[in-house]
Amino acid sequence: MIAADLLVAQNIGFYLIAAIMVFGAFSVVTTRNVVHAALWLVVVLAGAAAQYILLAAEFVAVTQVLVYIGAVMVLFLFGTMLTRARIGTDSELNNKNWFMGIPVAVLLLATLIIALNDGFGDEQLPTDAPVVTTQQVSDQIFGPYLLPFWALSFVLLAATIGAIVLARRD
């Protein structure tokens, strides 16, 4: 009975956060102000971090807050500030035939919903799953996934060097 009550709370939390995230995502792709879009993206990313906590992934949630909301959003705001050309008008932000995106997105969503309903239906997530600890995650990264980790380090190095080379004035 206690577990059922707990699940109700989790469900309410999920749907509340999910509604906020979907609204925020809509605002990101429809707002006419680039800075507002960046701030709505913060709402979506924070909601995603909350969903990760609901999915018992605390380390990924903290990383999401640190990397996305901390670093990536600062980059986005800097990029917005440095490219303030003629922002503010809608014609500058959307393509001429932007409405073509609506049927594509709706068809894709319909296909995905049908496929997900077919595949998973009413399958429940395990309720008594233990929270994945940071130690388990690091055992994964530095154990079986060490080679991708090295590759990722080189990707980050190359991206850093590439960004510096691209953006410097000479």
Partner 1 sequence: MLVNQFLMLGAILFCIGVYGVIARKNAVLVLMSIELILNSVNINLLAFSLRNGSTDGHTFALYIIAVAAAEVGVGLAMVLLMYRNRRSVGLDELSEMKG
90-103 in b/e burial notation, b at 16+ Cβ within 10 A?
Answer: eeebeeeeeeeeee
- How long, in residues, is the chain? 170
CB of 124 to partner 1, least distance (A): 6
User: How far is C-alpha 136 from the geometric centre of its chain's CA atoms?
Assistant: 23
- Which of 5/83 has CB closer to partner 1? 83
- Which of 5/122 has CB closer to partner 1? 122
CB of 41 to partner 1, least distance (A): 5
Q: How many CA atoms lie within 13 A of 51 on its CB side?
A: 15
- Which of 1/48 has CB closer to partner 1? 48
CB of 15 to partner 1, least distance (A): 8
- Which of 1/167 has CB closer to partner 1? 167
Q: CA-to-CA distance for 62 and 79, rounded, in angstroms?
A: 24
Q: CA-to-CA distance for 165 and 31, rounded, in angstroms?
A: 32
- Which of 2/99 has CB closer to partner 1? 99
CB of 2 to partner 1, least distance (A): 16
CB of 149 to partner 1, least distance (A): 8
Q: Whole-angstrom distance between the N-terminal and C-terminal Cα of the chain?
A: 68
